[in-house]
Amino acid sequence: MKAAQRHWWLRHSSRLGIYLALLAASAFYLLPVYVLVVTSLKSYAEANLAGMWHLPSAPSLESFLRAFEQLRPHFRNSFYLTIPATLLSSLLGSVNGYVLSKWRFRGSEVLFPIMLFGMFIPYQSILIPLVQVLQRVNEMAEALWVPAALRGLVPGYGSIAGLAFVHIVYGIPITTLIFRNYYATVPNELVEAAKIDGANIFKVYRWVLFPLSMPAFAVVMIWQFTSIWNEFLFALVLTQNPAIRPVTVALYNLAGSYIVEWNVQMAGALLAAMPTLLVYIFLGRFFMRGLLAGALKG
């Protein structure tokens, strides 16, 4: 009886310990969120650095509005960049994954890891030629008399189209990886049966693989949306023109300027994080799968 009681107590106190440890860890992860939210809600007059941890006495949206005013055009740029790049790179990844899983050819098994290597490289190692080539694209557009109305679509240096193009190209490895691993789980018998029924390569994709692809599309699109929205190095180097900078670069510049108060910077950080945070909150399941695929064994 006594031993049983002691056992009960031990079990429950260790339970309690687990919860306490988890709550302590939660505090670490929530600390920046607390400061971000509290600071963003403070008025200009109230936001002094020493009182960083105090709750706002009179919550105001002043900082948010100031930050939004500064970041608005860059939000638009980020959406113009992220949405087409996400859609196109997902489609490309789907086609590649389809070929590499259901239309294997001699050497495709060797080709795949060679493609995958592209997602691990430090992008510094391709940045200098990339800038040169994209500048050359602009010169070519100039020489070919591309009409001004279509200039926005030329994937050259210093344009959103150019940045989107770069994200699509360097997104090939990860999107191909996720789709290939996903399609590998689709039984080959389904494909063979469709072929016997006379379906060609497009029809097999359209009627067999594509309808099954929605979970993979969700994973890839969420992954690409998040990474392109959050990306910084390409955006920084390929956009000299302030008007086309995505929101990460704009936030970086906002935070680097001494004229902008720190509470506005914090509100800006919260705003810049919002789209991907919302995606995470509502579609977290798919985000997790993308994350784990990044470690190769999807």
State how far the Cα of 82 lies from the Cα of 45, in Å rounded to an integer.
36
Q: Determine the size of the site formed for other proteins (CB under 8 A).
A: 91
Residue 1 as a binder of other proteins (CB under 8 A): the answer is no
State how far the Cα of 181 lies from the Cα of 216, in Å rounded to an integer.
9
Who's near 43: CB < 8 A, 6+ residues apart? Answer: 56, 58, 60, 62, 63
Whose CA is closest to 243, among 167, 161, 158, 141?
Answer: 158
Q: Which residues, numbered 59-88, are part of the site for other proteins (CB under 8 A)?
A: none
Question: Is 91 exposed, middle or buried (CB count within 10 Å of its CB: 0-12, 13-18, 19+)?
Answer: middle
Q: From the list 5, 19, 147, 187, which residue makes contact with other proteins (rule: CB under 8 A)?
A: 19
Q: Which residues, numbered 161-220, are part of the site for other proteins (CB under 8 A)?
A: 169-170, 172-173, 176, 195, 200-202
Of 121 and 243, nearer to other proteins (C-beta) is 121
* Burial readout 178-206 (b: 16 or more C-beta within 10 A, e: otherwise): bbbbbbeebeeeebeebeeeebeeeebbe
Of 61 and 296, nearer to other proteins (C-beta) is 296
The minimum distance between CB 83 and other proteins, in angstroms, equals 17
The minimum distance between CB 149 and other proteins, in angstroms, equals 26
State how far the Cα of 90 lies from the Cα of 88, in Å rounded to an integer.
5
Q: Which residues, numbered 240-259, are part of the site for other proteins (CB under 8 A)?
A: 248, 251-252, 255
The minimum distance between CB 249 and other proteins, in angstroms, equals 8
Q: From the list 237, 244, 264, 293, which residue makes contact with other proteins (rule: CB under 8 A)?
A: 237
Q: Which residues, numbered 138-157, are part of the site for other proteins (CB under 8 A)?
A: none
Q: Which stretch binds other proteins (CB under 8 A): 62-70, 141-149, 155-163, 224-232?
A: 224-232
State how far the Cα of 249 lies from the Cα of 239, in Å rounded to an integer.
9
Residue 128 as a binder of other proteins (CB under 8 A): the answer is yes
Residue 294 as a binder of other proteins (CB under 8 A): the answer is yes
